[in-house]
Amino acid sequence: MSVLVDINHRLGGFAIDARFESAGRLTALFGASGSGKTTLIDMIAGLIRPDKGRIEVDGRVLVDTGAGIFVPKHKRRIGMVFQDARLFPHLSVAGNLRYGRWFTPPAERYADIDAVVDLLGIGPLMNRRPAKLSGGEKQRVAIGRALLASPRLLLMDEPLASLDEARKAEILPYVERLRDETKIPIVYVSHSVAEVARLASDVVMLAQGNVIASGPTGAVMQRLDLLPAEERGEGGAVLDTKVLHHDETFGMTVLGSAAGELRVPRLAMKTGTPVRIRIRARDVMIATEKPRGLSALNILPGTITTMSPGEGPAVEVGIDCNGATVLARITEQSRQALKLHLGGKVFAVIKTVSFDRANTGAGLPAEADG
Amino acid sequence: MNWLLDLTPDEWNAVRLSIKVATVAMLASLPPGILIALLLARGQFWGKTLLNGLVHLPLILPPVVTGYLLLLTFGRRGPAGAFLAEHFGIVFSFRWTGAALACGVMGFPLMVRAIRLSIEAVDRKMEAAAGTLGANSLWVFATITLPLILPGLIAGAILAFAKAMGEFGATITFVSNIPNETQTLPSAIYTFTQVPGGDEGALRLTLISIVISMAALVASEVLARRVGRRLDIE
């Protein structure tokens, strides 16, 4: 499964010139508002016709302006979940769910209505009208409606952006299940580091209509300098870990990662479960010798591999901990006081309580093909 | 009450004819009404202003002028009238069908306005969403647009019906005032007022006409409210 987008498009004074290719299970189109990510996803869905370029999904050419190919949206079989849900107000939840299924050729219907309803927990809502649903419920129904059209690709355009934190926390696990339990590849538009770090297998980072970075989430999200200014504080290392065991005495979970063991607040997950964590750079301290008499529980030895100026007095330091990179944001003053230099041996120090629900999520299971 | 319902056969015919003419006028103008409203609401084409003006013409012209223009075009010797009579056997002049045509034309601008407004209020994002779910534009129209504009459709239809019930000038100019054929309620009332001792009949038909129009209005309100409750648009 792969998505290839290579387009040139002008929208008034705004030009988009973007090329990316992704075979990831959940590819995030990530960037500040106005970076062109929604325009790109609208082009994949067929809602906007690009001036020039080519779009392929799984080898099927959807747009090729050179050859005059433009597959209309209703023939693309690409599901779309909109930020504003867009449930049909004159149909019940069940009617909305059946809508997409109705237009799918019977031979291509792979989505099972009971399984989808079960996956999204929308069984009790079936007879309700969209107007009577909460924001989170609407979004779950919208996801179900898109899934039941048995799409080849699922596009999600900031599905959480209009929800409050509690609703976001309600939906996120469903998106994780979608990513891990269905075979449908997902392209997910977001401007939130937290969402991308938690959900994405691959990231395409956009700025001013251009792709500025793309690749596996861990690698791309290390580029703190590329993050939109308002999200930079949320930036940090993204690590894929595994539950080693639980410490019931203190209500903690011990995660195993390449960097070493990490103690985080108790997670309701079984031993062996993959867990994706984000360690915000601002939550990481650096020590030049193993600290004693310190409350922080996570102390990872490593080597400084990068140092780049951050915003204001900050320096962003990349520390290679046994192959996994942890990022720390410290002040220039501290850097000089500690005489930090590339190749220097240091310890990254992380408080257990800095891991909250927003930066721990279900990890991506290992790919079947390795 | 007996006095009110004690109608002569000719008066009964006028009532029946009026309802028939108004119903046919309303139903027949619905499809073109929706089409023109769609064109005006969504179309981007040269001559849109002209089309808009043309549709509204019956609203601003004296009804007699509209009636006379219909007579010139759809009369037996008019270009459209002769063509339709020869090829399809449809004759308008001095027939109840002509009355329906006149009433339909007079009510058309009202119907188009109501439908156009409701089409403009439709969130086109809903239609885009239906498109991504596999519906082509015809299906989108039938399953999304049409249900969403239903309240406007009902309002437009009832307006056209009410207008047809009251239409007088264009009808009498185009198809005259022939009892049992083209004599609708307003024509019948007019006839009563022209003869000595016709006051009672005129009053009877006036009251009946009020009752029918009110009933249509109430029916549309109830219908629109029921549809509106179903839609429950936030």
Task: Give A28-70 as a DSSP string.
Answer: EEE--TTSSHHHHHHHHHTSS--SEEEEEETTEEEEEGGGTEE
Count how many domains chain B has. Answer: 1
Mean pLDDT of chain A: 89
Of A76, A86, A100, the CB nearest to B126: A86
Whole-angstrom distance, CA of residue B213 vs CA of residue B222: 14
Element (H, E) at A237: strand A236-247
CATH number at residue B200: 1.10.3720.10
Are B129 and A80 in contact, with CB atoms under 8 Å apart? yes
Is A45 in Cβ contact with B129 (below 8 Å)?
A: no
Whole-angstrom distance, CA of residue B158 vs CA of residue B155: 5
Whole-angstrom distance, CA of residue A185 vs CA of residue A198: 16
Instruction: Give pLDDT tens digits for B36-63.
Output: 999 999 999 999 999 999 999 999 999 9
Residues of A in contact with B129 (CB under 8 A): 80, 82, 86, 88
Q: Domain locations in chain A?
A: 3-230, 238-361
Of A75, A88, A146, the CB nearest to B126: A88
Instruction: Give pLDDT tens digits for B137-191.
Output: 999 999 999 999 998 999 899 989 999 998 999 999 999 898 888 999 999 999 9
Classify residue B2: in a domain, yes or no. no
The CA-atom distances, in angstroms, between B192 and each of A143, B10, B96, B205 are 67, 12, 20, 10
Of A75, A76, A86, the CB nearest to B129: A86
Is A72 in Cβ contact with B136 (below 8 Å)?
A: yes
Comparing C-alpha atoms, which of A54, A356, A13, A43 is closest to residue A208? A13
**Min distance A144 CA to chain B CA atoms (Å):** 12
With H, G, I as helix, E, B as strand and everything else as coil, classify residue A16.
Answer: strand
- A270 in reach of chain B (CB within 8 A): no
Q: Which domain holds residue B89?
A: 7-231
Start-to-end Cα distance in chain A: 15
Is A88 in Cβ contact with B233 (below 8 Å)?
A: no
Residues of A in contact with B146 (CB under 8 A): none
Classify residue B1: in a domain, yes or no. no
Average pLDDT over every residue of A356-365: 71
Report the pLDDT value the prediction gives residue B234, as an integer from 0 to 100: 38
- A162 in reach of chain B (CB within 8 A): no
Report the pLDDT value the prediction gives residue A369, as an integer from 0 to 100: 38
Q: Which residue of B has its CA nearest to A153?
A: B132
Average pLDDT over every residue of A23-27: 91
- A357 in reach of chain B (CB within 8 A): no
Q: Token pair for residue A16?
A: 């988009």
Looking at the DSSP assignment, which residues form a beta bridge with residue A255? A243, A262
Of A89, A132, A146, the CB nearest to B233: A89
Instruction: Give pLDDT tens digits for A207-240.
Output: 999 999 999 998 898 888 888 888 888 888 998 8
Q: Token pair for residue A256?
A: 């195993």
Q: Token pair for residue B160?
A: 């056209």
Instruction: Give pLDDT tens digits for B1-26.
Output: 566 667 788 888 889 999 999 999 99
**Min distance B115 CA to chain A CA atoms (Å):** 18
Query: A27 pLDDT band (50/70/90 cuts)?
Result: very high
**Which amino acid is located at A352 in the chain?**
T
Secondary structure of B123-148 as H, E, C letters: CHHHHHHHHHCCCCHHHHHHHHHHHH
The CA-atom distances, in angstroms, between A239 and each of A81, A218, A229, A274 are 28, 7, 22, 10
**Min distance B219 CA to chain A CA atoms (Å):** 21
- A145 in reach of chain B (CB within 8 A): yes
**Min distance A288 CA to chain B CA atoms (Å):** 56
Residues of A in contact with B133 (CB under 8 A): 74, 79, 99-100, 103, 145-146, 149
Fold annotation for A238-361:
OB fold (Dihydrolipoamide Acetyltransferase, E2P) (2.40.50)
Fold annotation for A3-230:
Rossmann fold (3.40.50)
Is A89 in Cβ contact with B148 (below 8 Å)?
A: yes
- A74 in reach of chain B (CB within 8 A): yes
**Min distance B152 CA to chain A CA atoms (Å):** 15
Report the pLDDT value the prediction gives residue A33, as an integer from 0 to 100: 85
Cα Rg of chain B (Å, integer): 20
**Min distance B38 CA to chain A CA atoms (Å):** 20
Residue A300 phi/psi, 5° resolution?
A: -110, 120
Report the pLDDT value the prediction gives residue B179, as an integer from 0 to 100: 86
Report the pLDDT value the prediction gives residue B229, as an integer from 0 to 100: 67
Report the pLDDT value the prediction gives residue B3, as an integer from 0 to 100: 64
Is B132 in Cβ contact with A47 (below 8 Å)?
A: yes
Residues of B in contact with A45 (CB under 8 A): 132
Q: Which residue of A has its CA nearest to B227?
A: A90
Q: Is the ipTM of this complex over 0.90?
A: no
Provide the 10 A C-beta neighbour count for residue B61.
Answer: 16
